[in-house]
Structure 1
Amino acid sequence: MAQHNETGKQGELEATRYLREKGYEIVAQNFRHQHAEIDIIAQKEKLLIFAEVKTRTNLSYGNPEEFVSYTKAKLVMKAAEQYIFANGWMHDIRFDIIAVTVAGTDLRVKHIEDAFS
């Protein structure tokens, strides 16, 4: 597997660990609908979050969260709409970005709530 794929997997593992520590239940990972993928769907009480995880090992070109494009956000929202419809979710939702930075042994997780508003 390519190094960037390994880095992405590591970031998603850290993001799920982080969310669990914050009291979220991981409902689904890598949910796909047409051309869209949602990295993590998590629930805390009556709140469902759709999280896009971005992981970087080098900040020379910017922070991880800066790499979530408008197009990607729209795709995530479309997939979330399908998930909500398919599962009959009738409570609050939120779109978050979880930015993971890995530099050697230093690992940082930044949780940006309500990132697509």
Structure 2
Amino acid sequence: MQKQLGDWGEQKAVMLLKQAGYEIIAQNFHSRFGEIDIIAKQADHLTFIEVKARSKTSYGRANEVISKNKIQKIIKTAQYFLAEHSSFSQFSCQFDVICIDFYDVVAKRVQQDFSKLVYDLQWIDNAFTLDDELFNLE
């Protein structure tokens, strides 16, 4: 279920980014350090996006479950991406998080159209920085 929910969340985020005028450069970009869900550009600006989709849970909202370790992996993967793609070397970069929180527990074994369920969507612009400062994940 988590994979289905996560895939749906990423698709929703891609639609949102495209509507905002971003061009999607890569999805699920992997390195030996970790993964970045979406890499998008707008003019000479590159954005690395983590997508979190969660059903109602006592374990916290989507923006509360991004650990310092996960952030470090995203940053290292972004640095790897930039080293491998020199055409983006002059771009300004930022890290955003798109959070999708469902109000109800989502059934684990039932194929669902998640878009028909009630959810909150939050786009956290500049959620963290290269030096690992958390200042916007609240």
TM-score (ref. length: structure 2): 0.78
Structural mapping, 1:1-117, within 5 Å: 3-88=1-86, 89=88, 90-103=90-103, 105-117=117-129
Query: Which is strand-richer, 1 or 2?
Result: 1
Quote the Cα distance in structure 1 between the aligned partners of 2:117 and 2:29: 30
Number of equivalenced pairs: 115
Contact kept? 2:6, 2:52, Cα under 8 Å: yes
Q: Which 5+ residue runs of structure 2 have no aligned equivalent?
A: 104-115, 130-138
Q: After TM superposition, which residue ranges in structure 1, 4 or more long, deviate above 3 angstroms?
A: none
Q: Deviations over 1:49-105 (max 9, x none)?
A: 000100011153321011110000000000100111111121100001110123462
Amino acid at match of 2:93: I
**CA RMSD across the alignment:** 1.3
Amino acid at match of 1:98: I
Quote the Cα distance in structure 1 between the aligned partners of 2:13 and 2:42: 15
TM-score (ref. length: structure 1): 0.91
